Structure 1
Amino acid sequence: MPSKSSARLAALTVAAVCSATAATQIVALPTPAHADTVRIHDIQGGTRLSPYAGEQVTDVTGIVTGIRTYGSSRGFWIQDPDPDADPATSEGVFVFTGSTPKGVAVGDAVTVSGTVSEYVPGGTSSGNQSLTEITRPTVEVLSSGNPVPAATSIDARSVPDAYTPSPNGSVNALPLRPAAYALDFYESLEGMNVTVADTRVVGATDPYAELWVTVKPDENRNRRGGTVYGSYAAQNTGRLQIQSLGRAADFPDANVGDTLAGTTAGPLDYNQYGGYTLVATRLGELRGGDLRRETTRAQHARELAVATYNVENLDPSDDTFAAHAAAIVNNLQSPDIVSLEEIQDNNGATDDGTVAADRTMAALADAIVAAGGPRYDWRAVDPADKADGGEPGGNIRQVFLFNPDRVSFTDRAGGDATTPVDVTKVRGKAALTLSPGRVDPASEAFANSRKPLAGEFVFRGRTVIVIANHFASKGGDQGLTSQYQPPARSSEQQRHLQAKAVHDFTAKILKTQKNADVVVLGDINDFEFSTTTDLLEGDGTLWSAVKSLPESERYSYVHQGNSQALDQILVSPSIRRGAFEYDSVHINAEFHDQISDHDPQVLRFRP
């Protein structure tokens, strides 16, 4: 999966988004109820859309529970201290002011008049649920210093195990069933003051001052404290995003496995980048879980060690070369071959037609030597300018890094951005016509996406063909908290085409030489249980070696508190039948000070 875009940082100070210019993102019901003086629970109603959407409401009473004075979603939350008896109707609502609220303070009893709106963070095309708000408000303060309504506890008992109804469409009009479904439970608390206690961190603090916790400590837990995403039906209902109404500088730097001890409390919001979010007026105390970065074992003399590592848009201007080098030398124990993803050109995101990445690779190779590692060599094919996706101007590509003291690279000239590699037979063995060469670069499957890089290596007299991949990102997919259930995964279409193309190329190698050693690896941007992986594997052509690990260990990436496998190494039958060892080396994804958002993977085997 790609990194959060820089556009997000430019557009937001906080992840909850709402805009005075977002009129096109307002959902108004065509026949709203008559609205004079109403209560908050009347506005929220028993579904996800307010029965008063688009209507003016007058003198809505409540106690101010939180004030957001920064970012694009400025305003405050109010909550009715006298709730009704219906658990489906929230007693809280956000009042969107558009600018820093003035004249109100937490504990004020107020009346608010304005327009009820259903704002869709990210726009209606995102598929996100909407956030009920009162906009263009007129506010009157009746009294100050009132107690804030008691926070509703969110814990393992209160959150249902079932995630959501699955109507194969929108859930917006369905009556909320907070005792049956987790998403309905969270929606029934939208805008209300809520609290969690002694929660374990399952998603490290990110650059936007947010983290993820779980209120269900035993839900798909792994040994390092994370929550594993093991199937499309294992959404992990206890996950909750945490932000803060305090200063970003005061937000804790948390790793997976740490704990927010004590009480974390504040209004429950809904935003584009994670769905339901506790925006804390009070944060628990961070207690470290002493999570350590892993180190794999060194390969034996007769073992070939092959790794994949997404180094996240590495270019000569970055200050992470020494850290990446130390990871390769120390944590990965200097693998013989490393498939590097997201190597950028020599001037990074500068968009001036530069496509060569020799300066980037020379800097990394030098850093590895400085870290005590071998003098690696490398092979790659420069992409055509702006043809492979990724950060504009960056021209990311895969690169083979290899230790010439352990393996040799079979160079066959002619590989370029547009010429496809093919398979031939040399002395009875499968061989590549180009090495390095690109697999099917003109195919629609790889339009505006990275083209697979194939290379031929020799280790102890045995040929090993390696195909490095970086499949299309998940950008554009609907989120797990989408109004559409199950959410649409539109990005799969291209990955399926890519998987089929790589599978077919691998099958051609194995048709030429049945016992060929083939390794297909990289940032697959999809799960080991996905159709993408099924298509890659085919009918036994390949097998994803991450499946050799216990289910709780199958992850290389953490997204919204879900530990999941996006980086994979797949092997041909000859490798699977022999002795091999697979390791997902957790050095990045679980840490707030990560140098990449991906964990590298290592395979050791005897060709």
Structure 2
Amino acid sequence: MLYARCHVFIRSTLVPALTYVPGGIPLPSKSSARLAALTVAAVCSAAAVVQTIVLPTPAHADSVRIHDIQGTTRISPYAGQKVADVAGIVTGVRTYGSSKGFWMQDPNPDADPATSEGVFVFTSSAPKVAVGDSVTVTGTVSEYVPGGASSGNQSVTEITKPAVTVLSSGNAVPAPVVLDAQSVPAAYAPAGDAAANGSVNGLTLQPSKYALDYYESLEGMNVQVADARVVTATDPYSELWVTVKPHEHAGRRGGTVYGSYDSQNTGRIQIQSLGPTAGFPVANVGDTLAGATSGPLDYNQYGGYTLVADHMGTLQSAGLQRETTRKQSHGELAVATYNVENLDPSDSTFDAHASAIVNNLQSPDIVSLEEIQDDNGATDDGTVDASVTVNKLIDAIVAAGGPRYEWRSIDPVNDQDGGEPGGNIRQGFLFNPARVSFTDRPGGDSTSAVGVTREHGRAALTFSPGRIDPTSAAWKSSRKPLAGEFVFRGRTVFVIANHFASKGGDQGLTSQYQPPTRGSEVQRHLQAAEVNSFVKDILKVQKNADVIALGDMNDFEFSGTAKILEGDGELWSAVKSLPKSERYTYDYQGNQQVLDQILISPSIRRACDFDYDSVHINSEFHDQISDHDPQVLRFHP
């Protein structure tokens, strides 16, 4: 994968001994150590980030081995220092992208399992070495933070500005360390140092206790996985994820399910190719890379620890098929949610989406669509109408043998709802008029708040369709919920279509901060409270009202967002009716997880005749037409 590189440059100045620098990286306290203040300037895309780090000055920076450079923490004790004649065998060469260089490894390891024997040498241009060369390197030790310091990512220890001497060629490469269920610990990461804002950088590695420490202790070394099951399909960047723990939270269809913040999947690891990507395996979840896959262990901003393979296992297909849900019975109302991923008239996926709705979802009576873009997509010219987009989908559904749906939506204020700039994504309802009717109550627009009133002793919306409190700060740069009133066989059903704020900006699971900060959930909590409050308003007027809140909640069924949405029983996430091995709608970095939900009111849940299905047609497949799986709820109103 080609990714933008933001290098970290370090300058050293002697200062009095300290243990921590506020806002910096924690260091082990050593009374006899001299300390150096290191200014780290991370320069990326013309933006500069400066961070001060205090590190011990090594006593002999001119004669060290790789394990000395790597040290027993995530930060090299030689960072910012020039080192001379560091010896190793070249184990991998990267000639592409902006991170050109090579990995080398000391064939004579020390006895400390916390110190890696491998290191990356950043050459900036195509390196003039080959695998198997015995080399010595003179250069400066640096800590490179993929994604920049603000990302919270761990750093990669490197030797930069190198002078390389090839001593001999054709030497045996050190045997790879085997990553498997026995070697990778069950615990994920230590808690970060509270005095260092939760960073683990200054903590001594415990590779026999924590998975992240184990991987860090192998940074830059030659590693291997064998007969590894694919748990995230190949993406457009020629990457996939495997697990070395086949029984760890195994999903029913071959993935690895993410079911709790406290039960991380430690066996996940990303696979990239060190050579040309043309032959990279095109894999779905459940497939296997049979035999050995081996290469240097890298760390990048797109998933953390990554095996950059110079030898790839043979792809064995598991034959995974897309799911098809059952057809609703005559007396059942089928309500679905489907994120169609920035759909606009220029896309080539209309027929595929239509086929999915007609054949895989069995033409639900009501479909909440998320990420419908305006009629010219990402062109930012003030267009907000989406009638061309929606009608093109409706026509494709008819052509696929489905019903001619009618639709309702409300155009957003231009460029106020987030998503792709100019795209003006919004939620919208499709409904089959042969099965269900929509109660139109005029007055709903992009800035007017829908309310709840009483009609003939029952709840009714003041606008239908209407948006929930659209001027609230909770919805800043985010999609506003769309509420609609439907009638099925004489029974009113309230449906609220949602697309909460994304998880963008959260620290990654392999962050230097443990546990990682989930900053984006602050806004989702506010949004969840707004939706729950609106549902409460409906239930105050009509205790037995049938209410469904559904859509892309961008958060897990066990999250704080879900708990706020559910409140004191006003709603309940129907995905929890499934076995844990089937609870997912999305697959990200080897974790199958719930982002899309259908929540139901007590009247639907108490009836005990509802049927929920997450229909896996996208998230597990390399040729997905959306990154989300749709879901369907069937019940008798």
- What band does the TM-score fall into relative to the shorter chain? over 0.9
Query: Which of residues 628, 633, 637 is equivalent to 1:598?
Result: 628
Aligned: 1:56 with 2:45: no
Alpha carbons 1:312, 1:342 under 8 Å: kept: yes
Q: Distance in 2 between matches of 1:29 and 1:130?
A: 15
TM-score, normalised relative to structure 1: 0.96
- 1:415 CA displacement: 1.1
Alpha carbons 2:62, 2:84 under 8 Å: kept: yes
Query: Which of residues 161, 164, 187 is equivalent to 1:139?
Result: 164
Q: Distance in 2 between matches of 1:225 and 1:291?
A: 9
Aligned pair in 2 of structure 1 residues 310, 359: CA closer, same or farther (>3 Å)? same
Q: Residue 325 of structure 1 aligns with which residue?
A: 354
Q: Residue 116 of structure 1 aligns with which residue?
A: 141
Aligned pair in 2 of structure 1 residues 28, 116: CA closer, same or farther (>3 Å)? farther
Alpha carbons 1:430, 1:516 under 8 Å: kept: yes
- 1:29 CA displacement: 4.0
- 1:32 CA displacement: 2.7
Where 1:350 maps in the other structure, the secondary structure is: coil
TM-score, normalised relative to structure 2: 0.92
Q: Residue 255 of structure 1 aligns with which residue?
A: 284
Aligned: 1:580 with 2:569: no
Q: Distance in 1 between matches of 2:265 and 2:520?
A: 22
Q: Distance in 2 between matches of 1:47 and 1:16?
A: 23
How is 1:50-199 mapped onto 2 (pairs within 5 angstroms)?
A: 50-101=76-127, 103-167=128-192, 169-199=198-228
Q: Distance in 1 between matches of 2:413 and 2:172?
A: 63
Q: Residue 302 of structure 2 aligns with which residue?
A: 273
Q: Residue 406 of structure 2 aligns with which residue?
A: 377
Query: Which of residues 57, 63, 77 is equivalent to 1:32?
Result: 57
Deviations 1:126-175 (A, max 9, x none): 11111000111111111111111111111110000011111351111111
Q: Distance in 2 between matches of 1:91 and 1:14?
A: 26
Alpha carbons 1:503, 1:541 under 8 Å: kept: yes
Q: Distance in 1 between matches of 2:114 and 2:67?
A: 9
How is 1:352-501 mapped onto 2 (pairs within 5 angstroms)?
A: 352-501=381-530
Alpha carbons 1:18, 1:73 under 8 Å: kept: no
Alpha carbons 1:313, 1:344 under 8 Å: kept: yes
Alpha carbons 2:485, 2:495 under 8 Å: kept: yes
Alpha carbons 1:26, 1:120 under 8 Å: kept: no
Moved more, 424-433 or 164-173: 164-173
Alpha carbons 1:324, 1:595 under 8 Å: kept: yes
**What count of residue pairs does the alignment treat as equivalent?**
595
- 1:25 CA displacement: 7.1
4+ residue runs of structure 1 moved beyond 2 angstroms? 14-32
Where 1:248 maps in the other structure, the secondary structure is: coil
Q: Distance in 2 between matches of 1:288 and 1:17?
A: 38
Aligned: 1:13 with 2:43: no
Q: Residue 43 of structure 1 aligns with which residue?
A: 69
Q: Distance in 2 between matches of 1:149 and 1:70?
A: 24
Q: Distance in 2 between matches of 1:529 and 1:339?
A: 23
Higher relative contact order (CA 8 A, sep 6+): 1
Residue 2 of structure 2 aligns with an amino acid whose one-letter code is: T
- 1:559 CA displacement: 0.8
Alpha carbons 1:519, 1:572 under 8 Å: kept: yes
- 1:248 CA displacement: 1.6
Where 1:484 maps in the other structure, the secondary structure is: coil
**Unaligned stretches of 5+ residues in structure 2:** 10-42
Aligned pair in 2 of structure 1 residues 74, 496: CA closer, same or farther (>3 Å)? same
Identity across aligned pairs (percent)? Answer: 74
Alpha carbons 1:465, 1:517 under 8 Å: kept: yes
Where 2:278 maps in the other structure, the secondary structure is: helix
Aligned: 1:526 with 2:555: yes
**Unaligned stretches of 5+ residues in structure 1:** 1-11
Alpha carbons 2:88, 2:136 under 8 Å: kept: yes
Q: Distance in 1 between matches of 2:6 and 2:49?
A: 14
Deviations 1:21-40 (A, max 9, x none): 55847875444314112100
Aligned pair in 2 of structure 1 residues 27, 44: CA closer, same or farther (>3 Å)? farther
Where 2:388 maps in the other structure, the secondary structure is: helix
Q: Distance in 2 between matches of 1:278 and 1:172?
A: 22
